[in-house]
Amino acid sequence: MAEPSGGESVITRAVRILDAFGPETTVLSLSEVSRRARLPLATTARLVKEMTRHGLLDRDEHRRVLIGTRMWELAERASPVKDLREAALQHMGDLHAVVGHSTQLGVLEGEEVLFVERLTAPGSVVNVTKIAGRLPLNASSAGLVLLAHAPDGLRERVLRGPLRSYTPHTLDREAALRAELAEVRRRGFAFCPGHIHPEATGVAVPVYRGRRVVAALGLVVPNDEEAWAFSRPLVLAGLALGRALEPNGARTGERVLRSGLR
């Protein structure tokens, strides 16, 4: 494809427009899209019009811009985590019914954890994660699990920082983070009281496909003396999900989860 003046291809500019949207910014004015995408307003208007014509974007009754349903359709069709999400939902639902708090599924994406599924309920403790939202690997329980089992090169890059902090309890120093990652590998789960929000504790376990960790299954529970007890049903759910991801393993995993949660 020929590149327009400025050296950027049309596809690159379209991607910048799509990147303007986020979990908290799903509807934007045209000028906001232009500013976030760092594109001239005229260029933004032309590309938004073309992308809307193809269903990749849409306009609401106030002419604000939002992601189109065709983009969702295409993403669902090609999603590399589709099978993982489908397998996880049953186990997340069972776990959610038992513990009564938010459950979530995260995968490693670059140097962040990307949350691909989440179940919550009215009255659950505060939870900042959202589907398609991201958090730094050092800050959340899911991130710590994924970082603990990440390739050495990636882990060392993250450890060298910078490390983002949310509360005084966030692991934002290399020595403390390195020690905690070793502890996560030893005990089999991450436990993060007050790391993201003072009122919440994150707990997460690795989800294996064969010998490889492909996701982190987590809970967000109140930050109190009972938080540690939630690790047991979560570990069982993680084991069950891992078995479900193996050929002919789903029934075995379900039996393990149900027997362990009685």
Residues 16 and 137 in one domain: no
Confidence band of 125 (pLDDT split at 50, 70, 90): confident
Residues 41 and 126 in one domain: no
Q: Say which CATH number the domain at 37 has.
A: 1.10.10.10
| Amino acid code (one letter) for 98 | V
Residues 200 and 121 in one domain: yes
Q: What is the DSSP string of 185-203?
A: HHHSSEEEETSS-TTEEEE
Whether 68 contacts 221, CB under 8 Å: no
Residues 165 and 251 in one domain: yes
Instruction: Tell which of 75, 95, 117 closes a domain.
Output: 75
Task: Note the pLDDT tens digit of each residue in 149-177.
Answer: 999 999 999 999 899 999 999 999 999 99
For the chain, how many residues are written? 262
Residues 54 and 131 in one domain: no
Task: Note the pLDDT tens digit of each residue in 194-223.
Answer: 999 999 999 999 999 989 999 999 999 999
Residues 103 and 142 in one domain: yes
Taking the CA atoms of 128, 131, 132 and 134 in sequence, report the sign of the dihedral they define.
positive
Residues 36 and 97 in one domain: no
In this prediction, residue 6 carries a pLDDT of 59
Structure-token pair, residue 241 = 């999900």
Whether 117 contacts 129, CB under 8 Å: no
As a 3-state breakdown, the chain gives helix, strand, coil percent values, each rounded to 5, of 45, 20, 35
Residues 30 and 49 in one domain: yes
> Does residue 4 fall inside a structural domain?
no
> Does residue 1 fall inside a structural domain?
no
Residues 71 and 180 in one domain: no
In this prediction, residue 2 carries a pLDDT of 37
Q: Which pTM was predicted?
A: 0.77
Instruction: Tell which of 30, 51, 75 closes a domain.
Output: 75
Structure-token pair, residue 252 = 């075995």
In this prediction, residue 250 carries a pLDDT of 44
Instruction: Tell which of 44, 75, 106 closes a domain.
Output: 75
> Does residue 191 fall inside a structural domain?
yes
Lowest pLDDT segment from 26-35, 80-89, 176-185, 205-214: 80-89
Number of structural domains found in the chain: 2
> Does residue 189 fall inside a structural domain?
yes
Residues 128 and 244 in one domain: yes
Q: Say which CATH number the domain at 135 has.
A: 3.30.450.40
Task: Note the pLDDT tens digit of each residue in 36-62.
Answer: 999 999 999 999 999 999 999 999 999
Whether 190 contacts 149, CB under 8 Å: no
Partner residues linked to 59 by β-bridges:
65
> Does residue 126 fall inside a structural domain?
yes
CB-CB neighbours of 11 under 10 Å: 10
> Does residue 175 fall inside a structural domain?
yes
Residues 139 and 48 in one domain: no
Report how far residue 218's alpha carbon sits from residue 119's, in angstroms, rounded to the nearest whole number. 11
Mean pLDDT computed over 112-134: 87
Residues 242 and 186 in one domain: yes
Provide, rounded to the nearest whole percent, the portion of the chain with pLDDT above 70: 91
Backbone dihedral region for residue 40 (phi beyond 0: left; psi -120 to 50: alpha; all else: beta): beta
Q: Please state the φ and ψ torsions of residue 13, each to the nearest 5 degrees.
A: -65, -35
CB-CB neighbours of 39 under 10 Å: 21
Report how far residue 143's alpha carbon sits from residue 190's, in angstroms, rounded to the nearest whole number. 9
> Does residue 5 fall inside a structural domain?
no
Look up the domain containing 199 and give its range.
80-260
